[in-house]
Structure formats: structure tokens, C-alpha cells
Amino acid sequence: MLKIYTDTDTDINPALAAEYGYTLISMPYSVDAKTTYPYVDFETFDGHAFYDMLRGGVLPTTSAISKEQYINYFQEDFKSGNDILYVHFSRAMTNTFDVMDQAIAELKTQYPATRFEEIDTKGITTISYAIVREVGDLVKAGKTLDEVLEWAKTEVDKFAMYFFADDLKFFRRSGRVSGLAATMGTLIGVRPLIHMSQAGKMESIGTVKGRPNAMKALVDKVAELGDEIGKHRICIGHTDAPEIAQEVGRMIEDRFGKQNIEYVYVNPTAGSHCGPNGVGVCFHAIHR
């Protein structure tokens, strides 16, 4: 039997996870030395309250979970001999999966017959959300593990994600965006346009002046790279900027007609690296 896993960094909430049968691994963040595990320490994510806290100057940190925690998550299915597929956020953005590798190696010595596979979404938050949902759809439709893995080989790189944030200090501190290191401080009104690269990293591809232009730049990217967008969800993620996200959605529909658009609150762990008032679009593309 195939058991599927994902983590809270992919923006999937428990209700959606249950709908697909995903086991949700909680990725923590800390504020003032207090560590919070999403959907373990709270039931519903109050995005507005969380990002307001960031607006007030709080800079949360994120941390990797321990080997024991991974073992706890996977042990039962290893023991039962189920096939395991973990659709996770980008390996290139974290060292948490090195810890997981140790846990898996240990479990494999104990239960050598169990098959453990991964799909690296090469992204985090909205782009991972889109891929996790597509994988969920495939599993729901009865695709086998190998068929899903085959799909992922070509399709993961066809999910593109472009976004902007208001305040660079979160990215700067997290050090997870390349191309930003050369700019200084907080650039009020001048926003970097960032995308998820093929390598699964955040990469700044230039700056845009003014929010209206930044929003237009996102829509332009959909026009430039979009591929069969009508057949896939367009996911618009935001860090407590629902109105801007919806305006971007309207702009997309004005240009490409009615679409299947989903609006997603960026999870607090990923949001800790982006800061508030950011908006990004994930769409099916010819390439990232």
C-alpha cells in the first residue's frame, strides 16, 4: 500500500492533507526561543496575526527537526511494509533532509523491505503546494508509485513560481535568496522579483519599481512562460496580502480568461523567510 507524506512548508493544511491521505510533517519556527509546530501547537493558522507580528518587528527563526522525530513519523509505515512517498519542500533550501537521510538509513537497516521514495518539489510554500496537490490528485486517481515518480521527473520542473516581497530584511537574514546579497538594506518601493530556480533555490532576477509594476511583472511572467495553464491550478500565495493576491488573480483572468485560481496563505515557517506583504504566482510553465 502506498502511503504519502508531505510537510507543513508546502502550505498544505490538515484538512487538505486528510482529503488526499497525506501524513503531515510539522516543520517548526521559533519566536523568542519558543518553538511552534504548525498544526501541532495550533489547529488553524491565523495568518493575519502571524504576519502582523512580523510587521511589528519580530524576526522568527526556523529549525530542522531531529532524527528521532523523523523516525517517529515514518516508523509505523516502515514496520508495516507500506511503500512511502514523501513530497517535500526543496532540499536545496535546508539541511533538515540530511537529518532525515540518517533516520531513513536507520529505518532501512531495521526494515530493509520497505520502499521509501521522495519527490523534491524544488521549492517551498505555494509552488510545493501546487505540486503536492497534483501528486495527490494522481494518487487519488489510482496512479502507482512508479507512475507518479515518472510524472515528477518531467513535471516538477514545469511548475514556475515568481514572487515579490515588501521587505528584504527577512530574505537577507535567511540568506536563502541568491542575487540579493549585492543590494543594500530595505529598499522601500523597489522590490526584487524572485523565482524558484531549477535547482530549487530562490533567485532574484531583477528589481521592479512600485507595487503595481511588481504585480504586472508576475502576470507578464505567466504570459511569457505559461504552458497549458488552463489545465492546471494557478496558485497565488501571499503573506497576509489577500487583496493584492486577489488583484493579481483578477489581472490574470483579465488577460487569460477564467482560470482555476487558488489563494494560499504562506505557511509561517516559510513566511518567516519572506516577511509580510509578499505575493507570488505559481503556474504550469514551459520551464521555471
Partner 1 sequence: MNLDSELYLNLIRGGAASLAQRRQEINDLNVFPIPDGDTGDNMYMTIEAGTHASGNTLGEMADSVSQGMLLGARGNSGVILSRIFAGMGKAFKGLKQADSKQFNAAMKAAVEEAYHAVSQPVEGTILTVLREGVAAAEGSAGMEEFFDLWIAGMDLSLQHTPDLLDVLKKAGVVDSGGAGLLCIAEGMRDALHGDVLSVMPSEASASPAPKVDFSAFTEDSVLEFGYCTEFLLRLQRSKVDLDTFDESVIHDWLETRGDSLVFFRDGSIVKVHVHTMDPGAVLTKCREWGEFLTIKVENMTLQHHENHMDERFKRTGKALGIVTVASGKGLTATFQEMGADAVIEGGQTMNPSVERFLEAFDNVGAETILVFPNNSNIILTARQAADIYDKSKIVVIPTHTLGEGYYAMANLQTDLPLEEITQTLEEAAKAVTTGSVSKAIRDTAEARTGEFIGFSGKDVLCCCPERPAAVQSLAQKLSAQNSDIIILLQGADAPADEASQLQNDLQNTYKNTEVILIDGGQPVYDYILVLC
Identify whether the C-beta of residue 189 lies closer than 8 Å to the C-beta of residue 154. no
Q: Which stretch binds partner 1 (CB under 8 A): 68-76, 89-97, 188-196, 254-262?
A: 188-196
φ, ψ of residue 92 in degrees (nearest 5): -70, -10
Calpha distance 192→208 (Å, rounded): 6
Instruction: Choose, by CB under 8 A, the member of 2, 149, 187, 205 that binds partner 1.
Output: 187
Calpha distance 34→27 (Å, rounded): 14
Residue 270: CB minimum distance to partner 1, A: 24
For the segment 80-139, give every residue that binds partner 1 (CB under 8 A): none
Residue 34's DSSP bridge partners are 31
Instruction: Choose, by CB under 8 A, the member of 35, 110, 186, 260 that binds partner 1.
Output: 186
Tell me if 189 contacts partner 1 by CB under 8 A: yes
Tell me if 31 contacts partner 1 by CB under 8 A: no
Dihedral sign from CA coordinates of 243, 249, 254, 258: negative
Tell me if 246 contacts partner 1 by CB under 8 A: no
Q: Which residue has the cell 505559461?
A: 226
Closest CA to 111 of 142, 80, 144: 80
Instruction: Choose, by CB under 8 A, the member of 143, 155, 211, 242 that binds partner 1.
Output: 211
Q: Which stretch binds partner 1 (CB under 8 A): 54-62, 77-85, 93-101, 211-219?
A: 211-219
Tell me if 182 contacts partner 1 by CB under 8 A: yes
Tell me if 209 contacts partner 1 by CB under 8 A: yes
Instruction: Choose, by CB under 8 A, the member of 49, 59, 105, 190 that binds partner 1.
Output: 190
Closest CA to 160 of 242, 212, 219, 215: 219
φ, ψ of residue 161 in degrees (nearest 5): -140, 125
Helix (H, G, I), strand (E, B) or coil at 117: strand
Instruction: Choose, by CB under 8 A, the member of 23, 82, 213, 259 that binds partner 1.
Output: 213
Tell me if 210 contacts partner 1 by CB under 8 A: yes
Closer of 85 and 168 to partner 1 (Cβ):
168
DSSP H or E run through 67: helix 67-80
Tell me if 57 contacts partner 1 by CB under 8 A: no
- Catalog residues that contact partner 1 under the rule CB under 8 A: 181-190, 209-213
